[in-house]
Chain A
Amino acid sequence: MSDEPNYSIETKDLSLFYGDFQALNKVSVNINHGKITGLIGPSGCGKTTLLRCFNRVNERFGNVTTTGEIKILSKNIYDDDVSLIQLRKSVGMVFQRPNPLPISVYENVVFGLRIHSRRKDLKKTQLDEAVEKALREVYLWDDLKDQLHVKGTTLQLEQQQKLCIARLLPLKPEVILMDEPCSALDTEATRAVEELMHGLTGKYTIVIVTHNMAQARRVSDECIFMLLGELVEHTRTEDMFLNPSHQKTADYIEGRYG
Chain B
Amino acid sequence: MITRKQWTTVSEFLIETVIRICGISAIIFVLGIFFFVFREGAGFLFSKWEPIKFFFSTEWYPTSVSNKRYGILAIIAGTASVTVIAMTIAVPFGLGAAIFISEFCTGKLKEILKILIEFLAAIPSVVWGFIGLMVMNPLIIDIFNVPIGLTALNGGIILSLMAIPIIVSIGEDSLKAVPDSYREAAIALGITKWQMVYRVLMPAAKNGLLAAVLLGVGRAVGETMAVLLATGHAVQIPGSPLDSVRTLTATIAAELGEAPVGSDHYQVLFVIGIFLFTITFVINLTAYLIVKGIRVQKGES
Contacts and interface: CB of A to CB of B under 8 A. Distances in A.
B is bound to A: yes
Given A99-B181, A102-B203, A115 B187 contact: no
A171 to B, nearest CB: 7
A93 B185 CA distance: 8
B240 interface: no
Interface stretch (A82-90, A134-142, A209-217, A234-242): A82-90
B204 interface: yes
A114 interface: yes
A112 B190 contact: yes
B199 A115 contact: yes
Contacts of A167: 189
B50 interface: no
A114 B188 contact: no
A100 B185 contact: yes
A214 to B, nearest CB: 27
A89 B190 contact: yes
Nearest to A83: B190
A169 B195 CA distance: 20
Contacts of B187: 57, 60, 88
A54 to B, nearest CB: 11
B6 interface: no
Nearest to B300: A154
Interface string A56-86: 0100101000000000000000000000111
A62 B184 contact: no
Contact-residue bracket for chain B: 10 to 19
A84 B86 CA distance: 40
Contacts of A103: 203
A101 interface: yes
Given A102-B203, A102-B204, A103-B203, A115 B192 contact: yes
B34 interface: no
B35 interface: no
A154 B200 CA distance: 17
B181 A112 contact: no
A55 B106 contact: no
Contacts of A102: 182, 203-204
Nearest to B179: A99
A97 interface: yes
B186 interface: yes
Contacts of B197: none
Interface string B161-189: 00000000000000000010110111111
A168 B184 contact: no
Contact of B189 (A60, A97, A111, A153): A111
Given A85-B190, A89-B190, 12 more contacts: A55-B188, A60-B187, A62-B106, A85-B191, A88-B187, A99-B182, A100-B185, A101-B204, A115-B199, A116-B190, A154-B301, A171-B189
> What 7 A-B pairs come out closest when comparing CB atoms?
A88-B190, A99-B181, A93-B188, A89-B190, A99-B185, A85-B190, A112-B189
